[in-house]
Amino acid sequence: MGQILDGKALADLRSIKLKEKVAILKQNGINPLFCVINIGNDLSSKIYLRSKKKRATEIGIKQNIYQLSENVTQENLLALIDRLNLDDRVNGIMIQLPVPDQINLNEALAKISPSKDVDCLTPANIGRLWRGDHFVEPATAHGILALLNYYRIELRGKNVVIIGRSSIVGKPLAALMLEQDATVSILHQKTKNLEQYTKRADILVSAAGQVNLVTAEMVKKGAVVIDVGISQVNGKTVGDVDFDNVAPKTSFITPVPGGIGPLTVESLMEQVVRLTRRENAR
């Protein structure tokens, strides 16, 4: 059976170091402030907000949540973003996803100041990401790379296959892995015969949110498997990977829960601190 990539343990370890950095900032009169805009009452969003709030408090980051009604107008959302952009106390801004249908998400994201964009979703920061001169990284992609680095899993020259092309995980992860000289393929819903690609992967990342999408037959012996998917089945949190059957074929594998999830939250806090230090030339 493959070695478990323990994201929770690594997140806790990185949290200790991040807390020390925040303490130094505070000694110099700098107090990191992170603002999250949440629209409506999506249950999964509420759970994620609580986990972020808990981690921020532990580290010493102040997190303000702006709870907007389900029917908030685009105009009012953009006005709030403008106010946060202009507030010198605010170091990071993010919009919690998903958002209701009346919201033009791309317009709202473009409104966020790139210097406060903790999700790396503004057009300017996405461009920097692909150009290779970024100063902020999407949290999940950042967490995946941190996990691979911690376990000394080399990316250079490796064949990486990513299932999922979202702007949150698939696309930015591909950009960051290309920076480290991996050969990257991105698969999606329209890709035919996923297995012909996945069986060649040295590192397979699944971020589709589809239960048991990745089976043992799709994975070559000795592969590294990263499961980013999160679904609920009979009250249990599960990923995209048929873990029990896939794990024996792998060299390394992430569990769900306890793999990438905790590192996503931790990495988000790291981006807040990174932006805070950048803003204050630290």
Active site residues: 52, 96, 119
> DSSP character for 54?
H
Helix axes 7-27, 43-59, angle to 10 degrees: 50
Q: What is the DSSP string of 203-229?
A: EEEE-S--TT-B-GGGS-TTEEEEE--
**Nearest Cα residue to 52 out of 4, 6, 118:** 118
Q: Radius of gyration (Cα) for the chain, nearest Å?
A: 19
> DSSP character for 117?
B
> DSSP character for 35?
E
Inter-residue long-range contacts of 230-236, CB under 8 Å, 24+ positions, other chains counted: 230/256, 230/257, 230/261
Measured distance CA(36)–CA(269) in Å, rounded: 12
Residue with tokens 């919690």: 96
Measured distance CA(222)–CA(249) in Å, rounded: 6
Measured distance CA(196)–CA(201) in Å, rounded: 10
Helix axes 139-150, 260-279, angle to 10 degrees: 110
Cβ pair 247, 227 in contact under 8 A: no
Q: Which amino acid is at 85?
A: N
- What angle (nearest 5°) sits at the alpha carbon of residue 231, between those of residues 264 and 106? 60
